């Protein structure tokens, strides 16, 4: 099970271990929008020239408008994972994190320790909101009451913009927020993310990133996607409907779905490992967890046919 408890997306390993089964494989192991932003065929990307500073600034302005943040507080990253792992070089330690959460949060600052919100003192606090893998959310006032630096991973906040504290970032507030492009827009392979922070912190990130932190494709696709208000609005309406349909299917098989994030659901059952294997032998990949063998996370099926296929496999 180790290969699939590390993170989602281990499709090649699943094929090698379980075979093709009822192929094509259906990957429900991630929390990535199964209906991605449609990249226009005529979108201009200059593959020969180095990424241009004006283009990077336009991307950061488009992202800032989407986040509700000041563009001066936004810095593009070659994926949020890299930015999170850089944070220990930019912010003071030691650090603690609210569990459960991403494995990366425990690796930050040379190793952060898990605490509850009530136990967090004045150390740098790392928190995911919405939380992974159970989709739980935290109230803004509870988070902002923290006395030290507050680092919020809002990777799944695009579908629930009311949760975001991006508009609260200011030069006199010890608040740093990370946002992911790939999850909501369904283009995880682009490896694009952002840090939103006081200007002094942004300057430290830029110094470490150096020139050309984001590829030309990331700049072009990210800028166009963040400016596509119609697609963003439609996706924010569609994802909760698909999540509700998934909840209905899970409930029909005695599985109670947990979480407020519309991109995934968590189920808790004594049969989680057997259920993972049963689905995998039918070419449906889900996400188990080594730290809680009773948990299984399922991403959203992208259409009615995939949902029906999951329904049949569960039965």
- pLDDT at residue 1, as a whole number: 57
- pLDDT at residue 7, as a whole number: 73
Residues of the chain with pLDDT under 70: 1-3, 5-6
- Of 127, 180, 179, 187, which is closest to residue 151 (Cα–Cα)? 127
Instruction: Write phi, then psi, for 48 (nearest 5 degrees).
Output: -95, -35
CATH of range 53-227; options 3.40.50.2300, 1.20.1560.10, 3.30.200.100, 3.40.640.10:
3.40.640.10
- pLDDT at residue 295, as a whole number: 95
Burial of 119 (0-12, 13-18, 19+ CB in 10 A): exposed
- Tokens 């470490």 correspond to 208
Tell me the torsion sign for CA atoms 100, 105, 110, 112: negative
- Of 311, 280, 276, which is closest to residue 297 (Cα–Cα)? 276
CA dihedral 42, 45, 48, 50 (to 10 degrees): 170
- pLDDT at residue 6, as a whole number: 67
Domains 2-31+230-314 and 53-227 alike in fold:
no
| Element (DSSP H or E) covering residue 246 | helix 229-252
Q: Where are the domains of the chain?
A: 2-31+230-314, 53-227
Tell me the torsion sign for CA atoms 175, 180, 183, 184: positive
CATH fold for the domain made of 2-31+230-314: 3.90.1150
Over the stretch 188-213, which tens digit does the pLDDT of each residue have?
A: 999 999 999 999 999 999 999 999 99
């Amino acid at each position: 099970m180790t290969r699939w408890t590390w993170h989602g997306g281990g499709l090649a390993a699943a094929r090698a271990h379980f075979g093709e089964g009822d192929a094509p494989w259906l990957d429900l192991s991630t929390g990535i929008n199964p209906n991605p932003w449609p990249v226009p065929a005529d979108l201009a990307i200059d593959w020969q020239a180095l990424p241009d500073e004006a283009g990077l600034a336009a991307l950061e302005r488009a992202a800032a408008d989407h986040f509700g943040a000041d563009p001066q507080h936004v810095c593009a990253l070659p994926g949020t994972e890299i930015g999170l792992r850089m944070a220990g070089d930019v912010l003071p330690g030691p650090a603690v994190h609210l569990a459960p959460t991403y494995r990366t949060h425990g690796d930050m600052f040379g190793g952060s320790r898990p605490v509850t919100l009530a136990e967090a003192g004045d150390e740098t606090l790392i928190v995911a909101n919405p939380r992974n893998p159970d989709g739980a959310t935290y109230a803004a006032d509870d988070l902002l009451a923290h006395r030290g630096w507050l680092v919020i991973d809002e990777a799944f906040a695009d579908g629930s913009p009311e949760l975001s504290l991006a508009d609260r970032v200011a030069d006199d507030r010890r608040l740093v927020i990370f946002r992911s492009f790939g999850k909501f827009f369904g283009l995880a392979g682009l490896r694009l993310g952002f840090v939103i922070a006081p200007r002094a912190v942004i300057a430290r990130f830029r110094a470490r990133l150096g020139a050309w932190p984001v590829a030309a494709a990331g700049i072009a696709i990210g800028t166009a996607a963040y400016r596509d208000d119609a697609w963003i609005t439609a996706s924010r309406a569609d994802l909760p409907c698909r999540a509700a349909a998934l909840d209905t299917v899970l409930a029909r098989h005695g599985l109670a779905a947990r979480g407020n994030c519309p991109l995934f659901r968590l189920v808790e059952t004594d049969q989680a490992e057997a259920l993972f294997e049963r689905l995998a032998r039918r070419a449906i990949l889900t996400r188990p967890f080594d730290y809680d063998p009773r948990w299984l996370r399922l991403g959203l099926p992208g259409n009615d046919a995939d949902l029906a296929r999951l329904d049949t496999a569960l039965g």
